[in-house]
């Protein structure tokens, strides 16, 4: 089995609330879990991100009177899509999907912990005001290349991949191991196109998992 030295697999938000029965379901979100498990043996370093919101988080529509999920507001100077309450700290919805093989995960980085700002990327909040520490940790491990997969393609996966590029990592999107929200039709296709245009290499899991 080929090992991807100096590379890390980034598992983005493989949590209950983003799967079909969750509070913020991503269509077919559960279908990426078997792919994640199949990919893990090829990597020495596997990092998982975890949405980890306080209950009073500003991205929750329920915390804004007369607002509904899908609307966009100004949240402390940044445009913010409002979401259903999801991935509240220590809740079942915030836990990783049970079928995910967590024994191979090297490190977990939580995000979205500040109630005043959302964090789609696993590296930074949406205003790039604070880092999660993931970038520095990966560089300390000698990682030069990252393979990004998970939920959701058009939000947390996209922003993680773009930030990885910005930090100097060679970056791959494993497209079939990711699923999107598609708030507007075509959002996922646009996200993949934007990543590719900016320098992310778009691949299929079969290019890693050799028969």
Q: Which DSSP string corresponds to 62-92?
A: GGSTT--TT-EEEETTEEEE-B-S--BTTSG
Alpha-carbon distance of 157 to 12, in angstroms, equals: 6
151 with 120: CB under 8 angstroms?
Answer: no
107 catalytically annotated? no
8 A C-beta contact, residue 16 and residue 24: no
Given the residues 17, 154, 156, 163, the one annotated as active site: 156
Q: What is the CA radius of gyration of the chain?
A: 16
Among the options 13, 30, 51, 118, which is catalytic? 13
Q: Which of 30, 104, 111, 154 is catalytic?
A: 111
Question: Is residue 13 annotated as a catalytic residue, yes or no?
Answer: yes
CA angle centred on 97, ends 56 and 47, rounded to 5°: 85
State yes or no: is 163 an active-site residue: no
Sheet holding 45-51, edge to edge: 107-111, 45-51, 7-12, 145-151, 170-179, 201-203
Residues labelled as active-site residues: 13, 111, 156
């Amino acid at each position: 089995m080929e090992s991807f030295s100096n590379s890390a697999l980034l598992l983005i938000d493989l949590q209950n609330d983003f799967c079909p029965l969750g509070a913020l379901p991503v269509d077919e979100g559960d279908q990426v879990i078997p792919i994640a498990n199949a990919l893990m043996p090829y990597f020495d370093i596997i990092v998982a991100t975890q949405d980890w919101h306080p209950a009073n988080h500003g991205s929750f529509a329920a915390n804004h009177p007369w607002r509904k999920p899908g609307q966009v507001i100004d949240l402390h100077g940044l445009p913010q899509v409002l979401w259903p309450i999801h991935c509240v700290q220590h809740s079942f919805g915030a836990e990783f999907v049970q079928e995910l093989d967590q024994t191979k995960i090297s490190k977990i980085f939580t995000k979205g912990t500040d109630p005043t700002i959302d964090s789609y990327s696993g590296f930074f909040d949406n205003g790039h005001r604070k880092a999660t520490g993931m970038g520095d940790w990966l560089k300390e491990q000698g990682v030069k290349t990252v393979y990004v997969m998970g939920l959701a393609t058009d939000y947390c996966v996209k922003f993680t991949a773009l930030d990885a590029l910005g930090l100097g990592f060679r970056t791959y999107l494993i497209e079939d191991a990711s699923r999107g929200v598609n708030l507007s039709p075509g959002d996922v296709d646009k996200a993949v196109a934007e990543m590719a245009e900016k320098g992310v290499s778009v691949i299929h899991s079969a290019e890693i998992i050799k028969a």
